[in-house]
Structure 1
Amino acid sequence: MEAPLKAAMPATASASQEILADELQVVEFQLAEEIYAINLFHVKEIVQYTKVTRLPNSPGHILGIVDLRGEICTIFDIKNKLNLGDNGQLNAENAKVIVLDDKIIGYKLGILVDNVLNVTSVAKDQIDQSQSSRDYDSSILGIIKKPLRVDGKESCELVILVDIKKIVGDATI
């Protein structure tokens, strides 16, 4: 049910420096109908979704808090922050909370996602950074092009690689 993931990258490395390595390990997750990825070394663990205690007067992207093995963890609604809307119902059976490494983020924070698909290594040449916005505040680091073979034809699945540190920003409650 809970799979701890260990962080091994120094907290001083910037998001763009992390992509410069030959390979990048990522956690792929689903939000609505799209697939996103974040750097594995920003993740402490992945846990099953549990009931969230809502907090009054909190921003829309803060769902509330949960007790995670005796520690209070703020739950961040990444769909709300990215303006992805909500299709109405959360499938609690598949929903997961990706708990971010508090050494990198600075505090205990989990992001609610529809499902965690896998943890994988991505070769640098599979990351298209030309599709990233040139804007200073852009949270998109690049687009991962995963080769697929569908009905004998070559294709690729597009995965949006995001900078989770920029997305959560100052998400404290």
Structure 2
Amino acid sequence: MTTNVPAVPAQHAHSGASDTFQLVSFRLGREEYGIEITRVREIILMGEITRLPQTPPHIKGLINLRSTVIPVVDLRLRFGMPTKEADDDTRIVVVTVDEKTVGLIVDAVSEVMRVSRDLLSAPPCNVCGPAREYPAQIVQLGNRLIILLDIQDILGQSPLDPAELAAAEA
């Protein structure tokens, strides 16, 4: 699934690693988002999720990932988007935030790409949605825009410890 795209302008292609970074891009609806690859542990197929009562709607439940129980967050619901049934493209992006592992449900994973930091910009002040609510940056690749999410900020406002979630069930 790893794909190299010509996202790095030629003048930066041979410069130091600090000028570029890698991101995993994914779709929620028609919008494209990204997370820095240093946060991504792996990408897995959508599987069985054990639901927990008395948790926020965006926390879908828990999964067992190779004998490790991790919470799963539906990013569509976290961003106030309508829910969507899982299909063959639906994936769980497993990320690490503050030494905790969390699964993120996304509509589809697009690609892994290397991007020049020169292509980053702040979203316009009058924008609304996830780019406004949470610190984010915009990656502009020609006519293509990717919202680069600060996943720590997005998940930092939710109870994501599996033990805390299980205690809420009792």
TM bucket, shorter chain: 0.7 to 0.9
d(CA) in 2 for partners of 1:43, 1:132? 28
Any idea what SS the aligned residue of 1:108 has?
strand
Which residue pairs with 2:136 in the alignment? 141
Matches within 5 A, 1:77-92: 77-86=74-83, 88-91=84-87
Which residue pairs with 1:107 in the alignment? 100
User: Aligned match of 1:33 in 9, 30, 33?
Assistant: 30
Which residue pairs with 1:11 in the alignment? none
Any idea what SS the aligned residue of 2:50 has?
coil
User: Aligned match of 1:165 in 139, 148, 152?
Assistant: 152
Deviations, residues 99-147 of structure 1 (Å, cap 9, x unaligned) = 112xx433221100011110111111211225368xxx84242111112
d(CA) in 2 for partners of 1:89, 1:130? 30
* Structure 1 residue runs without a partner (length 5+): 4-20, 148-155
Q: What is the aligned-residue RMSD (CA, Å)?
A: 2.2
Higher relative contact order (CA 8 A, sep 6+): 2
Deviations, residues 62-111 of structure 1 (Å, cap 9, x unaligned) = 0001111111111011111111222x4221x111111112xx43322110
**Percentage identity across paired residues of the two chains:** 28
Amino acid aligned to 2:60: L
d(CA) in 2 for partners of 1:100, 1:89? 22
TM-score after normalising by structure 1 = 0.74
Amino acid aligned to 1:146: L
d(CA) in 1 for partners of 2:118, 2:57? 37
d(CA) in 2 for partners of 1:130, 1:89? 30
Deviations, residues 15-53 of structure 1 (Å, cap 9, x unaligned) = xxxxxx411210100111110001100111111110111
Any idea what SS the aligned residue of 1:51 has?
coil
Instruction: Say whether residues 1:54 and 2:51 are aligned partners.
Output: yes
Q: Is the 8 A contact 1:140 1:160 kept in 2?
A: no
TM-score after normalising by structure 2 = 0.75
Equivalent pairs, count: 141
* Structure 2 residue runs without a partner (length 5+): 3-17, 127-131, 166-170
Q: Is the 8 A contact 1:99 1:110 kept in 2?
A: yes
Which residue pairs with 1:94 in the alignment? 89
